[in-house]
């Protein structure tokens, strides 16, 4: 009897992950001041597919997430984590989310802070 409940819980977790990654991609796209069409073009995916990802209707593969991350100039690991492909990175996600959500920062300032943060994190990961 516990299995359907577990299955429903797993489905709910997956749906939340899809919504989270879609929201995150949308936020990062807006910070970068890119249209859906432009991001889709740069990432090499179709406009409707990217729109569905942003709305949490599609589960992108790791390869697609990597293409989107490259187009947005953010770490692919961040998107992998949001999509549930990697375990949570904890505080790192909080830093990125706080920067993206801060209403006092302009989109340019948010992007600059995210770029600096990503460079620090990636250089630290490379040393480990």
Q: pLDDT > 70: what percent of the chain?
A: 79
The answer for 58, left when phi > 0, alpha when psi is -120 to 50, beta otherwise, is: beta
Q: Would you state the structure tokens that stand for residue 71, as one six-digit string?
A: 């187009």
CA–CA distance, 66 with 49 (Å, rounded to integer): 15
Q: Judge whether 100 and 82 are in contact, CB under 8 Å.
A: no
Tell me the HSE value of 69 on the side-chain side, using a 13 A CA sphere: 20
Task: Encode pLDDT of 24-79 as tens digits.
Answer: 899 999 989 999 999 999 999 999 999 999 998 888 888 898 899 999 988 887 77
* Domain coordinates in residue numbering, the chain: 2-127
Domain formed by 2-127, architecture: Orthogonal Bundle (1.10)
Which single residue is written with the structure tokens 């970068």?
32
Q: What predicted TM-score, i.e. pTM, was given to this entire model?
A: 0.60
The pLDDT score that the predictor gives to residue 93 is 61
Which single residue is written with the structure tokens 């801060």?
102
């Amino acid at each position: 009897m516990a299995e359907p409940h577990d299955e429903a819980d797993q489905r709910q977790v997956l749906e939340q992950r899809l919504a989270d990654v879609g929201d995150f991609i949308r936020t990062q796209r807006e910070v970068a001041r890119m249209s859906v069409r432009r991001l889709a073009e740069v990432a090499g995916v179709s406009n409707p597919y990217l729109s569905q990802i942003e709305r949490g209707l599609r589960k992108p593969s790791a390869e697609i997430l990597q293409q989107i991350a490259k187009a947005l100039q953010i770490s692919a690991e961040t998107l992998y984590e949001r999509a549930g492909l990697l375990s949570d990175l904890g505080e790192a996600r909080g830093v990125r989310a706080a920067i993206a959500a801060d209403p006092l920062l302009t989109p340019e300032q948010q992007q600059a802070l995210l770029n600096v943060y990503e460079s620090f994190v990636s250089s630290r990961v490379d040393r480990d």
